[in-house]
Amino acid sequence: MDKTGQTQVIGIASGKGGVGKTTVSVNLAVALQALGKRVMLFDADMGLANAQIAMGCRCPYNLSDFLSGDKTLKEIIVTTRQGVRLVPGSSGRQEMAALDDMGAARIVQAFSSLEESVDYLIVDMAAGISPSVLSFMAACNRRFVVVRDDPSSIADAYGTIKVMIQDYGLDEIYLIPNGVGSAQEGFQLFERINKVCARFLNRSIRYLDSIENDEMILMAHKKYQPVLEFAPTSAASRDFRRLAKVTAQLPPDLEASGGLQFFVERWVKTIS
Ligand SMILES: Nc1ncnc2c1ncn2[C@@H]1O[C@H](COP(=O)(O)OP(=O)(O)O)[C@@H](O)[C@H]1O
Ligand SMILES: [Mg+2]
């Protein structure tokens, strides 16, 4: 536990799918864990739950067992070989793709009954800007938006940021350019997007860190391993370690309350 004894909840979003949310969530979780933090990763991408695949983790149960009422949240959580506490999502279940508000609220409330404390709860969001995704994002302390340097990813990232700011009044929005040629290119992408935010939303967002394009990520995925495990000396692994350091250096959000209870309190605040 860090000195403040608070859990920091980080939501990872993108707007568009396939830009690297799960890759960033999984490797950030693994890298923070390696820094000695206690990390829980919540795979909230109901339609395409693949954090467990990316971590090479066998999960006897998953979120659908929780939503059906067969298992408690505690019963579905596993510890991955990297030491991360994983709340596994369910994959390929049609009814899971669109999580309704009731299901989302039940999930969030169940976190309050968890007695374990963690330093970070990382939430790997579903693509898109459905009300449940946005409510999850609102319940987090910080929001990390993953974006690639291509027109549709940029448009969707901006659209997500716009809704978070204008409709939900959220701040603490950080950009993570992914799949870039260099950190400098990543920062330039941030500057382009931030300019649009400043001009049209009258608000600025923050730069966090960039992840280079690295085929080792794809090779690692084929081996059911996070790249940090598969190729620790790769450029991507270097970037994810740096991302974890930068994340750990962010000042704790003072609004956070102890343990995982905050998730509930913040959630209730946004839906009421
Ligand atoms: N920096 C990167 N370099 C190379 N490939 C990447 C990078 N980030 C993600 N990928 C690959 O892109 C694909 C989509 O990534 P994923 O994390 O599943 O996206 P999302 O969760 O946003 O849908 C995966 O095949 C992943 O291995
Ligand atoms: Mg994903």
DSSP assignment of 76-134 equals H-EE-TTS-EEE---BS-HHHHS--HHHHHHHHHHGGG-----SEEEEEPPSS--HHHH
- pLDDT tens-digit map of 39-65: 999 998 876 668 999 999 999 999 989
Q: In this structure, which residue's CA is closest to atom 3 in ligand 1?
A: 213
Lowest mean pLDDT among 57-61, 176-180, 187-191, 260-264: 260-264
Instruction: Return left, alpha or beta for 20; rule: phi > 0 is left, psi -120 to 50 is alpha, else beta.
Output: left
Q: Given pLDDT bands bounded at 50, 70 and 90, which one contains residue 96? A: very low
**How far apart are the CA of 22 and the centre of ligand 2, in A?**
4
Residue 259 has pLDDT above 50, yes or no: no
Beta strand 85-87 with 78-79 is antiparallel
**Can you tell me the mean pLDDT for 102-115?**
79
pLDDT for position 83: 97
Q: In this structure, which residue's CA is closest to atom 9 in ligand 1?
A: 20
Is the model more confident about 22 or about 133?
Answer: 22
- pLDDT tens-digit map of 209-244: 999 999 999 999 999 999 999 999 999 999 999 999
Q: How many C-beta atoms lie closer than 10 Å to residue 181's C-beta?
A: 11
**Can you tell me the mean pLDDT for 87-104?**
69
Is the model more confident about 233 or about 7?
Answer: 233
Instruction: For the chain, list the domains and their CATH numbers.
Output: 8-265 (3.40.50.300)
Name the average pLDDT for the chain. 88
**How far apart are the CA of 109 and the centre of ligand 1, in A?**
30
pLDDT for position 93: 56
Max Cα–Cα distance, the chain, nearest Å: 49
pLDDT for position 253: 81
Q: Given pLDDT bands bounded at 50, 70 and 90, which one contains residue 103? A: confident
**Can you tell me the mean pLDDT for 198-212?**
97
* Alpha carbons 174 and 124: distance in angstroms, whole number: 15
Q: In this structure, which residue's CA is closest to atom 15 in ligand 1?
A: 20
pLDDT for position 258: 46
* Residue 26 Cα: closest atom of ligand 1: 17
- pLDDT tens-digit map of 131-176: 888 888 888 899 999 999 999 999 999 999 999 999 999 999 999 9
Enumerate residues lining ligand 1, CB below 6 A: 14, 17-23, 178-179, 211, 213-214, 217-218, 221, 236
pLDDT for position 190: 98
* Alpha carbons 93 and 225: distance in angstroms, whole number: 24
Instruction: Give the predicted TM-score (pTM) of the model.
Output: 0.93
**How far apart are the CA of 224 and the centre of ligand 1, in A?**
13
pLDDT for position 257: 46
Q: How many C-beta atoms lie closer than 10 Å to residue 198's C-beta?
A: 12
